[in-house]
Chains A and B, each alone.
Chain A
Amino acid sequence: MGSETQHESGMSRRDLLAMVGMAAGSAAMYQAMTSLGLAGESTYRGSPNLSGAPKGTSVLILGAGLAGLTAAYELRKAGYKVSILEYNERPGGRNWSIRGGDKITELGGETQTCGFAKGHYFNPGPWRIPYNHHAVIDYCRQLSVALEPFACLNHNAYFHSTNAFGGKPQRIREIDADLRGHVSDLLSKSAQQDKLDESISKEDKEVLLAALKNWGGLDNENRYTKSAAAASLRGYDRYPGGGLAGPSAPSEPMKLQDLLKSGLWRNLNNFFQFEHQNTMLQPVGGMDMIGKGFAKQLNGLIRYNAKVTEIKQDERGVTVTYVDQKAKGTPKQVKADWCVCTIPASILSQIPTTVSPKMKAAIDAVPYVTSVKVGLQFKRRFWEEDEMIYGGISSTNLPINTISYPSDNFGSKGPGVLLGAYQIVQANSFALASMSAPERIAFALENGSKIHPQYKKEFDNGVAVSWHRMPFTLGCGGMWNPSTRKEHYSNICQIDGRMVLAGEHVSYVNWWQEGAILSALDAITRLHERIVKTKA
């Protein structure tokens, strides 16, 4: 039971996507899901070539998230007359950072005012950029958004389970080294006892033994023991000192049985997955620098606080009705020749819209995933000062799942903000989403203090975001499974009359910013072709 429980924690995105498939349908989807959409490099091939835009043609873009902003930026460059309607009073959508003084109002009316110190922030949505997400990175380049490393794998952060090692957090490097070491030891033994002779030649066997010795940190007999070789990977009881402080003392590896039973090894591969490999990146100063960078280029073209209430189209154009959320009053209308709609399907499904029955069915087929994140500011950076953890992620089977330490301002004396809980998809994410914000923060503190006892003394203030309660999305991302993909995905991508949809939900790169941008580029490239053809 212990290891089974552990299996569910520290889950990778791939595991979670598989779970979504299961949540949405039968267990048989598990296999299919794991082979969906996650492999391969980004299809990004640079900015699209949209030459020959007919003079004076207007395109209305709904939503100023990364999909809408990308569409607007490229279409305007191509010569189209673009304008954007956005529900929030800021650009970016889910590309969002929270700073001191910001007010966050969730559905239901609960409002938090963030109390973070100046210079600190928390990304409630996307928080790290894979090196293989070429589109996001290239737009950062174009928009002069400075990037810095996001420490994802930190060998000195923790894997933790309440069911293992008496609840004592283990350093990731120890789990990593001991798994490699013990596996190498066992395999070496088999080879040395000639048990692999059917699968390997004599010469290869010698090389294999050398490789295992090297990779596993084995001693001269190819055994994984308390040795200099093992210590060079898993760390020391005493690190070598200067002067009279003395030589190193190796540390004692954990027992194979304890390691296996702990299940902590299950957390490892999360860091080696394609999207989580080093080097991951983050915009300097907050993820929202990307949305803000786009918005600066589109100065004056974005109408904020606009709640879309109806989307109508005919052969001649598109008419969108919206209500100004600040001024309220009578609904207003905007007309355009064409429309790129990036409103999340969760919300679009509720807006009266002129589209084909197939498109309507597709929009209605994408429910939205839960996600709750808690950002905590502490008075001092005890994870750095006391525990030598500089950025990176600790994983636990506690219902906070994740603690992620800030990747900036290392060594600074003041406070620090960390991600204190990240629950997504699973049952407990709904439970957290159902709590009030102060309850979620208390929950993150209570649980996190089992890993970092300093929590309670050093806590300063926090914010909690439940994506199901975000008025502008009703969830953190679109939820496809193999059968809805098959039935509806190609339909949701079609140009429907004078409208095309874009966003992470219209991609195979779900829940990533890359998906939003790639979707927008694909949509506007096809829309442009259609427009040119229609005018010709």
Chain B
Amino acid sequence: MIHVSFSRRALAIGLLALPLSLSAALAQDVKPTIGPPGLAFAPKTGADLYVTVCQGCHMPGGKGAVGAGMYPALNNNKNLEAGAYPVHVIVNGLRGMPPFRAMLNDDQVAAVVNYVRTNFGNSYSDAVTGDDVKLARSAN
């Protein structure tokens, strides 16, 4: 038992460590995407979406920031455990954070949520889907 759990932990750390450092390095190189005028965001991948839509507030690497008010850190964030929560926040907004329901389509919301939940020290591998986003849209 002990042996197994050890190796599983070692495996988990080993597996996570590589993609994490890789994706951190990649995220540094990803630049915000300038799209056509209008409300709709152009990017499709989670990394491009994060850097274009979220980074202005939540900062590179999801570090968050504090001034008179704050932007919560998204790195190592336990609130991301239930995928439905970030989906809901992005679609409907949360206090200072504007709703993105008219600016991101279902696939984009799912992609950025899946990206944030598997990067920045988060490792929630149960992916959310466009259907989860539809549900959040109808909730409000």
| A interface residue numbers (CB < 8 A to B) | 5, 8-9, 19, 22-25, 27, 87, 107-109, 307-308, 343-347, 349-351, 364, 367-370, 397, 399, 425-428, 430-435, 439, 443, 466, 468-475, 479
Contacts of B78-114 to chain A: CB distance below 8 A: 93, 95-103
Taking the closest CB of chain A, its distance from the CB of B49, in whole angstroms, is 10
Tell me if B59 and A431 are in contact (CB < 8 A): no
A8, A343, A397, A427: the one contacting B42 at CB < 8 Å is: A427
User: How long is the Cα–Cα vector from A257 to B34 in the complex, in angstroms?
Assistant: 30
* Residues of B close to A347: CB separation below 8 A: 68-69, 96
**A431-B35 contact given A107-B65, A472-B68, A474-B69, CB 8 Å threshold:** yes
Please tell me if the beta carbons of A427 and B35 are within 8 angstroms of each other in the complex: yes
A364 and B95 contacting across the interface, CB-CB below 8 Å = yes
Do A433 and B56 form a contact, CB below 8 Å, given A19-B39, A107-B65, A428-B35?
Answer: yes
Select one of B33, B38, B56, B99 contacting A426, CB under 8 A.
Answer: B38
Measured CB to CB, the closest approach of chain B to A187, in angstroms, equals: 31
How far in angstroms is the closest Cβ of chain B from A107?
A: 4
Q: Is the interface of A mostly helix, strand, loop or mixed?
A: loop
B14 sits at the interface (CB 8 A) = no
CA distance A222 to B39 in the complex (A): 43
Bound-state CA distance A8–B66 (Å) is 34
Task: Identify the closest chain B residue to A343 (Cβ).
Answer: B68
Quick check: A434 and B65 within 8 Å, CB to CB?
no
Question: Residues of A contacting B54 with CB < 8 Å?
Answer: 434
Contact between B37 and A434, CB atoms less than 8 A apart: no
Option from A24, A351, A472 in Cβ contact (under 8 Å) with B98: A24
Taken residue by residue from 16 to 36, chain B's Cβ proximity to chain A (1 for < 8 Å, 0 otherwise) reads as 000000000000000111111
Q: Which residue of A lies closest to B54 (CB)?
A: A434
Point out the residues of chain A lying under 8 angstroms from B38, CB to CB.
Answer: 8, 426-427
Asked whether any CB of chain A lies closer than 8 Å to the CB of B71, the reply is: yes
Residues in B neighbouring A27, C-beta threshold 8 A: 102
21 pairs from A and B in contact (CB 8 Å cutoff): A5-B37, A23-B99, A25-B99, A87-B67, A345-B96, A346-B96, A349-B95, A369-B98, A399-B37, A428-B35, A430-B32, A430-B41, A431-B33, A431-B52, A432-B56, A433-B56, A434-B52, A466-B56, A471-B65, A474-B68, A474-B96
Residues on B with C-beta less than 8 A from A107 are: 57, 59, 65-67, 71
Contact B34 A479 (CB under 8 A): no
- Chain B residue at minimum C-beta to C-beta distance from A7: B37
When distances are taken between beta carbons in the complex, the residues of chain B under 8 Å from A367 are: 93, 95-99
- Contacts from B to A (Cβ < 8 Å): 31-42, 51-57, 59-60, 63, 65-71, 93, 95-103
Smallest CB separation, B91 vs chain A (Å) = 12
Please give me the 4 A-B residue pairs with the lowest Cβ-Cβ distance, nearest first. Answer: A471-B67, A433-B56, A8-B37, A346-B96
The answer to whether B39 touches A430, judged by C-beta atoms less than 8 angstroms apart, is no
CB nearest to A345 among chain B residues: B96
Q: Which of A8, A434, A469 has the most CB of B within 10 A?
A: A434
Considering the complex, give the chain A residue whose CB is closest to the CB of B71: A107
Contact yes or no, A22 B65, CB < 8 A? no
Cβ of B33 to closest chain A Cβ, rounded Å: 6
Contacts of B36 on A, CB cut-off 8 Å?
5, 8
Asked if B65 and A427 sit within 8 Å, CB to CB, the answer is no
Please name all residues of chain B whose beta carbon is closer than 8 Å to the beta carbon of A24 when the two chains form the complex. Answer: 93, 98-99, 102
Complex: A358 Cα to B76 Cα, angstroms: 33
For the complex, give the distance between the alpha carbons of A236 and B40 in Å: 42
Q: Which residues of A contact B34 (CB under 8 A)?
A: 399, 428, 431, 443
* A108 touching B65, Cβ below 8 Å: yes
B51 vs chain A, min Cβ distance (A): 6
Are the C-beta atoms of A23 and B39 separated by less than 8 Å?
A: yes
> In whole angstroms, how far apart are the Cα atoms of A346 and B57 in the complex?
12
- Cα distance A435–B97 in the bound complex, in angstroms: 18
Point out the residues of chain A lying under 8 angstroms from B32, CB to CB: 430-432, 434-435
Contact between chains at A397 and B37 (CB < 8 Å): yes
Chain B residues closer than 8 Å to A479, beta-carbon distance: 98
Q: Which residue on chain A has the smallest CB distance to residue B40?
A: A427
A395 → chain B, closest Cβ, in Å? 12
Residues of B near A87 (CB, < 8 A) are 67-68
User: Cβ of A475: which chain B residues have Cβ within 8 Å of it?
Assistant: 96
Nearest-CB residue, chain A, relative to B57: A468
Q: A397-B37, A427-B52, A479-B98 are in contact. List 20 more A-B contacts (CB 8 A).
A: A22-B39, A23-B103, A107-B59, A109-B65, A307-B68, A343-B68, A344-B69, A346-B96, A347-B68, A367-B95, A399-B37, A427-B40, A427-B41, A431-B52, A434-B32, A434-B52, A435-B31, A469-B65, A471-B69, A474-B96
Q: Please, how many angstroms separate the alpha-carbon atoms of A399 and B100 in the complex?
A: 20
Residue from A9, A347, A425 with most neighbouring chain B CB atoms (10 Å): A347
Distance of A16 from chain B, by nearest CB (Å): 10
- CB pair B52–A474 under 8 Å, yes or no, is no
Min CB gap A159→B, angstroms: 14
When chains A and B are docked, how far (Å) is the Cα of A24 from the Cα of B99? 6
Q: Using Cβ atoms and an 8 Å threshold, which residues of chain A touch B101?
A: 25
| Residues of A contacting B52 in the complex (Cβ-Cβ under 8 angstroms) | 427, 430-431, 434
